[in-house]
Chain A
Amino acid sequence: MTLNRKITPPITDAVSFDLQLKKCDTYHLDNGVPVYSMNAGAQEVLMIEWVFYAGNWYEQKNIVAASTNFMLKNGTHQKNAFAINEYFEFYGAYLNRSCYNETATITLHCLSKHIHELLPVVAEIITESIFPEEELNTYRRNQKQRLEVNLKKCDFIANRLIDEYVYGIHHPYGKYTSTLDYDQLNQEELVAFYEKFYKEGNCTIFTAGQVPADLPNTLNTVFGGLPLQKRPVPNIQYTLRPATEKKYNIINDEAGVQGAVRLARPFPNRHHPDFQKVQILNNIFGGFFGSRLMSNIREDKGYTYGIHSYIQNHIHDSAWLISTEAGRAVCEPTIEEVYKEMHILCNEPIEEDELSLVRNYMIGSVLGELDGPFQLISRWKNYVLNGIDETYFYKSVELIKSTSAEELQDLAKKYLNPESFYELIVV
């Protein structure tokens, strides 16, 4: 029998899959700290994340939150920065920290067998950090140097400016760092922020991997007695101050051979009824390799190595962005093509063939993302921090399967109009 290679082998439509989100165990420590746990995986590894409401949403002065978070590893009453690093590294463990807008995290990755040695030192960091002046000086100088290098990059400049246009320079989502901010940082501010938002802050713990049976007890012994969760998270509201001017052309490097192109419009958060359906529209528009922007602007015209659209992952307000780095001479034509693609989505219904491909692709991706403990806990974390639950997951899957071309066209008409987009080119 000769093989006919022109015929596609039969496939099971991914939309027929019955996707199930593995439930996460939840419990509370004695002090009220909630713990979410995902016990899964074949490797004897563990991830524990401490999430504090200590993002830049809560700072009074620029970069206090990020600097406090960064310097958590730089010294406690008992250990200097070197000793802290050496301790974790000796066990082959990774202790990372990250600062976001609402939250800031401490994340431990380690082999499950070492967890008992490591937890007490994480607790030490949460209760006894001292932010030594000398460490702060080194941090300040090195960060300023790093910033200086970044300011030479058109993509870095573009990412800062587009957020400023959408949210305003005083909004936590719109503000950014200058070297002056580093000069103005002082130790007392970090200590005060730390006392309020870490030591006596609001914490949520996420664990995933091969979770030892005694972990709840151990966590409770080490963290259950700390003075966390004493006060509610402060309710702070910010006013959006979007820019009035819509179009910007910036020259950052006269000799630049590429421009960073950004288009953005304000968009509501996950609780808005359009949010999940728009994810489908976004996929078709610029959300994956087979998207229209990618097919047209990279695969047909070769203007860029890549072009993407996405909804920013923010808890409060959000924005719909299109982002690419394109040849300097083709930045304007790239923007024209983006608008053309918006126009087509507004005026022509998506054909069934394309829509069913995107449905299958999206379900296939979700299935892949349900694989493995770290991916699962990361989905749960996103739900917990955004105040949603697993019904959101099932609704999202249902909408991927059922949202019609007509609904998507209506959404395109509602959101994808060029006049509502900020437009920026940074060379």
Chain B
Amino acid sequence: MIQYNRFVLDNGLTVLVHEDQATPMAVVNVLYDVGARDEQANKTGFAHLFEHLMFGGSIHIPDYDEPLQRAGGDNNAYTTHDLTNYYCQLPAQNIETAFWLESDRMLSLGFSEKSLAVQRKVVCEEFKEHYLNKPYGDVWHKMRELAYAVHPYRWMTIGKELSHVENAHIDDVKAFFFKHYRPVNAILVVAGNVKTEAVKQLAQKWFGPIPMGEKYIRCLPKEPKQLEARKLSVEANVPLDAFVKTWHMDARLEKGYYAADLLTEILGGGGSSRLYQAIVKEKKLFSNLDCYHFGSMDAGLVTIEGKLVKGVTMEQADNAITEELEKIKETIVAENELQKVVNKTESVIAFEDMSVMSRASSLAMYELLGDATLMNTELNKYREVTPSDLHFYANEIFRESNSNTLYYNAKQ
């Protein structure tokens, strides 16, 4: 049970405080309700580029990192399709430094041309390092475009292409900031060796004076139900054929989400999972095989992917997977097998909750979903899933017409 207190400043900034006197540290986590899904199709990669710019100096403070390091702190950030999250950890005595830094960059960035010029290059190198210069690095670029016809999950957080990042202009940066980086679109979580009363005062002092801004109302195109299987076959300079197949699943708060999560565990979570046992170990068709989803807030994708053992054809691989999926669609999953994956979920949650930093970012994420208490009721949602729910959702999800298949062939 994770305890927390919650209050909202007059400017709409939601603040959560999680006290843990066992640690000498404090964590200040600021989540902004903006991710790659909020980008325009011709300016992709912007939310992530923007995350880099948040370290390029704010209106009163030329350098974010230096004063934080001087206070014994460290920080980082990440951008997903759904949100952008900034976190720092520092000795609890020096927590005000974090309030000072975070509030100043929420008030206004410095909008330095130099920072933009450098970070454009840095992000392009990041793009190359992870997506261009690695074998199979563009698999998800291709799969997302195949699986989503209209929803902005179509592109990667790093961006659709290098040129979108290269062409980012300072005016785009300013507009993006004042649209999304306002108190009313943010959630502040303070955790660790802190007291709620003191946090209230600090929050009011540093964040209170920031103009509220306009609440961003998200209206993204809903991905229409897919009615026909989509297939794509490509060739690339890689040593092994790779197979990737996805199926649309429910959004984060829908009942089908929990069932889909458990189904991916049954199929691909660990050495005793069905696909691993049947297809890697017994039939020996794949040298590795994974089944997972990304935990997206909007409707996401159940994914099965792996590399083929040399000599195996794509059709053999595809058929073997279909055969396993037919089993889970036809035959009800045994209580024992369901119990196994629920136990695993219980354990994953317990391990995740060990670090203050992870508790802080989870609280922020659940608050964004609508209510931070979800963090404490999540496990029950998994426990409520029955074998017949799994049966129902396996049939919902694993329909051929709901699928997207990518054959990623090694060039001969």
A41 to B347, CA, bound (A): 15
Question: Most chain-A CB neighbours within 10 Å: which of B123, B129, B205, B307?
Answer: B129
Contact of B129 among A45, A84, A258 (CB under 8 A): A258
Which residues on the B side are within 8 Å of A154 (C-beta)? 133
Instruction: Determine whether B240 belongs to the interface, using a CB cutoff of 8 Å to chain A.
Output: yes
User: Are B129 and A145 in touch, CB under 8 angstroms?
Assistant: no
A293 to B24, CA, bound (A): 30
Which residues on the A side are within 8 Å of B129 (C-beta)? 258, 305, 325
A142 to B285, CA, bound (A): 10
Which residues on the A side are within 8 Å of B33 (C-beta)? none
A14 to B89, CA, bound (A): 13
Number of interface residues of A (CB under 8 A): 74
A146 to B135, CA, bound (A): 12
Instruction: Determine whether A86 belongs to the interface, using a CB cutoff of 8 Å to chain B.
Output: yes
Contact of B346 among A8, A111, A149, A299 (CB under 8 A): A111
Instruction: Determine whether A396 belongs to the interface, using a CB cutoff of 8 Å to chain B.
Output: no
Tell me which of B114-122, B243-251, B362-370, B387-395 binds A: B114-122
Instruction: Determine whether B297 belongs to the interface, using a CB cutoff of 8 Å to chain A.
Output: no
Which residues on the A side are within 8 Å of B356 (C-beta)? 371
Instruction: Determine whether A288 belongs to the interface, using a CB cutoff of 8 Å to chain B.
Output: yes
A257 to B339, CA, bound (A): 48
Range class of the B interface residue count: 35 or more
Chain B 135-172 interface residues, beta-carbon cutoff 8 Å to A: 135-136
Chain B: minimal CB distance from A77 (Å): 19
User: Are B61 and A5 in touch, CB under 8 angstroms?
Assistant: yes
Tell me which of A57-65, A217-225, A362-370 binds B: A362-370
Instruction: Determine whether B305 belongs to the interface, using a CB cutoff of 8 Å to chain A.
Output: no
A153 to B344, CA, bound (A): 34
Instruction: Determine whether B97 belongs to the interface, using a CB cutoff of 8 Å to chain A.
Output: yes
User: Are B288 and A110 in touch, CB under 8 angstroms?
Assistant: no
Instruction: Determine whether A308 belongs to the interface, using a CB cutoff of 8 Å to chain B.
Output: no
Instruction: Determine whether B25 belongs to the interface, using a CB cutoff of 8 Å to chain A.
Output: yes
Contact of B340 among A86, A146, A371 (CB under 8 A): A86
Instruction: Determine whether A73 belongs to the interface, using a CB cutoff of 8 Å to chain B.
Output: yes
Instruction: Determine whether B377 belongs to the interface, using a CB cutoff of 8 Å to chain A.
Output: no
User: Are A43 and B70 in touch, CB under 8 angstroms?
Assistant: no
User: Are B351 and A300 in touch, CB under 8 angstroms?
Assistant: no
Contact of A5 among B94, B104, B310, B353 (CB under 8 A): B104
A363-405: contact bitstring with B at CB < 8 Å (1 yes, 0 no)?
1110110111010000000000000000000000000000000
Which 3 pairs between the two chains have the least Cβ-Cβ distance?
A: A364-B72, A302-B121, A85-B271
Given contacts A110-B347, A145-B287, 14 further A-B contacts (CB under 8 A): A3-B205, A9-B99, A11-B97, A14-B91, A14-B94, A89-B269, A90-B339, A90-B340, A142-B280, A145-B240, A257-B132, A258-B128, A302-B122, A305-B126
